[in-house]
Amino acid sequence: MAYVINDECLSCGACEAECPVSAISEGDGKYVIDADKCIECGACANVCPVGAPNPAE
């Protein structure tokens, strides 16, 4: 399952810089993850200061 970014996102960009496959981009008010590109590595979740990226349910 790909990761998704919840509404806790602060739009700091830490996750985008950490993504090895460039699946994360700035969206409207928060960052978003392209599920087709996400390789479920969890790198984004490891650097997020508020824990916004989580595995999709």
Find the domain containing 29 and state its range.
3-55
pLDDT value of position 1: 86
Report the domain count for the chain: 1
List, for residues 18-54, the tens digit of each pLDDT value: 999 999 999 999 999 999 999 999 999 999 999 999 9
| pLDDT above 90 for 7 | yes
pLDDT value of position 57: 85
pLDDT value of position 19: 98
Burial class, 54, CB count within 10 angstroms (exposed 0-12 / middle 13-18 / buried 19+): middle
Identify the CATH number of the domain in which residue 46 sits. Answer: 3.30.70.20
